[in-house]
């Protein structure tokens, strides 16, 4: 059965594929481009918005804010806004967030260990393809 249609054959929005795999709805946030890096950084302790911006190189304000809001909504990140001027907002991991951070960090570590292997595989594959383009 296709995910693109329900029993009645009506089309579904593309992103509802995840309905068949609820874990993806959680995973896609913690494994997102900036989610991983933010979680990893917060594993180190509480950080301000601008600290995270610097620590996570290359992230735009928009994407950092969006990522933090998503993680906060999911209950992974705790946001504490201090009513001072200039504004100061501290971000930290919740218990569940720390769990998430450790999980993705472990996966990242595993991936990092396999980087040489994977890159070697890619080169071998590309070499093979170049040698016999049509087989």
CA distances for 13 relative to 3, 6, 9, 70, 112, angstroms: 10, 11, 13, 21, 35
> How many residues sit in the footprint of DNA (CB under 7 A)?
27
Which residue, 25 or 65, is less far from a second copy as judged by CB? 25
Site string for a second copy, 90-119 (x = CB under 8 A): ------x--xx--xx--xxxxxx-xx-xx-
C-beta of 123: minimal distance to DNA in Å?
Answer: 19
Report the candidate in 110, 107, 108, 93 with the shortest Cα–Cα distance to residue 39: 93
Nearest distance, CB of residue 9 and a second copy, angstroms: 14
Structure tokens at 96: 């569940």
Phi then psi for residue 80, to 5 deg, are -125, 110
Are 89 and 79 spatial neighbours (Cβ–Cβ below 8 Å)?
yes
Site string for a second copy, 6-35 (x = CB under 8 A): -----------x--xxxxxxxx--xx-x--
Minimum Å gap between C-beta 49 and DNA is 4
């Amino acid at each position: 059965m296709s995910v693109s249609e329900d029993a009645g054959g009506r089309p579904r929005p593309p992103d509802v594929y995840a309905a068949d795999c609820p874990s993806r709805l959680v995973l896609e946030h913690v494994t997102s481009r900036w989610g991983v890096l933010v979680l990893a950084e917060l594993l180190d302790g509480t950080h301000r918005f601008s600290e995270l911006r610097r620590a996570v190189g290359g992230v735009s304000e928009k994407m950092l804010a969006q990522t933090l809001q998503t993680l906060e909504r999911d209950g992974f990140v705790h946001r504490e806004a201090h009513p001072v001027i200039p504004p100061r907002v501290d971000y930290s991991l919740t218990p569940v967030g720390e769990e998430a951070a450790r999980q993705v960090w472990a996966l990242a570590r595993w991936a990092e260990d396999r980087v040489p292997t994977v890159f070697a595989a890619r080169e071998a594959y590309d070499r093979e393809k170049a040698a016999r383009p049509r087989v």
